[in-house]
């Protein structure tokens, strides 16, 4: 995919019609099977109307090539971010970003992140994310996009007991 033309990539909010494709795409890249992957996106669709969660997708020639999730984390409800509760601030978090391997390094992760930031700007002037230090690609991308580390030693879902590779990042997104 050397000569990807940016105008050939279509970005939009996901709809229920994209749900199966999203689950297939996610299960290709994670240990989750189709049904587990489908459950992962359920919260995005359930909460998309009340401004708690949003899911953006990228496609190329009608094929799903990436998604980016964003959601509101509060201490009082069960809309948890990677299992974290009161240890991390309330607010909007980017929650998952996955790009088709053949389309990485072409600005799609950046665009999906900017779309998520722009959506959050209507409700808040900052956005958080929790990353694992073991995922250097993701850490490097978020640092490039202006996220700053504010807290270390959080438990990340893929951590082994006592590993605590999670870090909390923030980005100011005021207009
Ligand atoms: C991490 C990931 C989402 C990046 O998406 P991408 O579409 O390849 O990233 P982009 O092309 O939009 O890159 C945006 C910026 O980050 C930088 N970047 C991306 N990956 C990088 C890497 N591995 N090392 C250093 N910088 C990197 C790019 O250079 C670019 O900056 P620039 O425009 O100044 O050159 C993608 O590699 C992926 O899907 N990985 C597997 C899943 C994953 O780790 N998701 C993140 C979990 S939170």
The domains found in the chain, sorted by start residue, are 6-172 (3.40.630.30)
Is residue 43 scored above 70 in pLDDT? yes
- 3 pLDDT higher than 90: no
3-state secondary structure 81-133: ECCECCCCCCEEEEEEEEECHHHCCCCHHHHHHHHHHHHHCCCCCEEEEEEEC
* Residue 3 burial (10 A CB sphere; 0-12, 13-18, 19+): exposed
- Indicate the average pLDDT of the chain: 92
- Ligand 1 contacts CB of residue 99 (under 6 A): yes
Residues 6+ apart with CB under 8 A from 138: 97, 131, 132
142 lines ligand 1 (CB under 6 A): no
pLDDT tens per residue across span 76-89: 876 677 777 778 99
- In short, whether 47's Cβ falls inside 6 Å of ligand 1 is no
Q: In this structure, which residue's CA is closest to atom 5 in ligand 1?
A: 109
Give the pLDDT confidence of 91-114 residue by residue, as tens digits.
999 999 999 999 999 999 999 999
Closest residue by CA, ligand 1 atom 42: 98
User: Ligand 1: does its nearest atom lie under 6 Å from the Cβ of 48?
Assistant: no
Q: List strands edge to edge, sheet with 91-99.
A: 9-13, 53-60, 63-73, 91-99, 126-132, 166-172, 148-154
Tokens 């959506």, residue?
Answer: 119
Q: Ligand 1 within 6 A of 9 CB?
A: no
Q: Give the model's pLDDT for residue 158.
A: 85
Structure tokens at 144: 């490039």
Confidence tier at 47 by pLDDT (50, 70, 90)? confident
- Rounded to an integer, what is the distance from CA 115 to the centroid of its chain? 11
Contact 147, 108 (CB under 8 A): no
């Amino acid at each position: 995919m050397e000569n990807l033309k940016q105008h050939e990539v279509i970005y939009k909010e996901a709809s229920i019609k994209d749900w199966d494709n999203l689950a297939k795409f996610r299960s290709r890249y994670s240990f989750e099977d189709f049904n587990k992957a489908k459950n992962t996106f359920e919260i995005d669709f359930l909460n998309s109307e009340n401004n708690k969660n949003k899911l953006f997708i990228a496609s190329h020639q009608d094929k799903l090539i990436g998604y980016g999730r964003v959601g509101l984390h509060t201490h009082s409800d069960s809309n948890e971010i990677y299992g974290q509760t009161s240890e991390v601030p309330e607010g909007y978090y980017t929650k998952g970003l996955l790009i088709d391997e053949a389309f990485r390094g072409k600005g799609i992760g950046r665009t999906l992140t900017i779309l998520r930031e722009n959506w959050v700007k209507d409700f808040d002037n900052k956005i958080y994310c929790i990353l694992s230090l073991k995922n250097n690609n993701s850490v490097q991308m978020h640092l490039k996009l202006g996220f700053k580390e504010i807290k270390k030693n959080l438990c990340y879902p893929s951590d082994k007991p006592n590993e605590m590779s999670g870090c909390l990042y923030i980005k100011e997104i005021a207009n």
